[in-house]
Homo-oligomer: A and B are copies of this chain.
Amino acid sequence: MSVPTTEPGLRERKKAATRLALHEAALSLALEHGPDRITVEAIADAAGVSRRTFSNYFANKEEALFYGQHQRMRELAGMLRARPRDESPWAALTAAAEQFYSAQGDLDPEWTARTRLMRRHPSLAAAQMQTFAAMEREVAAEVAVRLGPAADPSGVRVNLIAATFLAALRVSLTAWLAHPADSTYWEVAAEALAEAGRGFA
């Protein structure tokens, strides 16, 4: 007797569990030993799978470490897509960000610690940036929708809006991580978005 909605199914659930286990193993090993002193083998071991299986899920350590960030980004992208179609691009972006960040009050301190760890390590900078780059593509696609069919999806305007939006979020996060006590992340980000978005509002 199955529920009518498309259930994940055992196979899918197992895959998700393995992926999550690998991600979390990677994170806790990185916290314990430092991100550049961990091996794929150690991560796979800690997650209870073979080294070869790790490669079936992630291309490398960095991808496993940033899986969480990647998921958060996709959540934000989802909220963006759910905004009313007739909202202007910048309005939709700010609204989605507010929904996403201010809702969850302040950021989880454990998450903050992990993020700060990642930021400190230059060997992870590349992976960090790739997360943002991937997100930029998704955001740009949504901006293109809102600018109507006349907008060239590879044109400057669409991508400039997406890039500026993400730059504001990224820079705010860096600054907030440096001085966490002063205010909530969203307060910092909102101001940055207002400033950066003056050309698009």
Contact = CB atoms under 8 A, between A and B. Distances in A.
Interface string A39-61: 00000000000000000000000
A14 B167 CA distance: 40
Given A164-B167, A164-B196, A159 B174 contact: yes
A160 B195 contact: yes
Interface of A: 125-127, 129-130, 132-133, 152, 154-157, 159-160, 163-164, 167-168, 170-172, 174-175, 178-179, 188, 191-192, 195-200
Contacts of A156: 171-172, 175, 188, 191-192
Q: Nearest 9 CB-CB pairs, A to B? A: A198-B199, A129-B129, A163-B167, A126-B126, A159-B171, A156-B175, A154-B178, A195-B199, A160-B171
Contacts of A133: 125, 129
Nearest to A200: B195
Nearest to A127: B126
A185 to B, nearest CB: 11
Nearest to A194: B199
Nearest to A166: B167
A167 to B, nearest CB: 4
B171 A163 contact: yes
Contacts of A164: 164, 167, 196
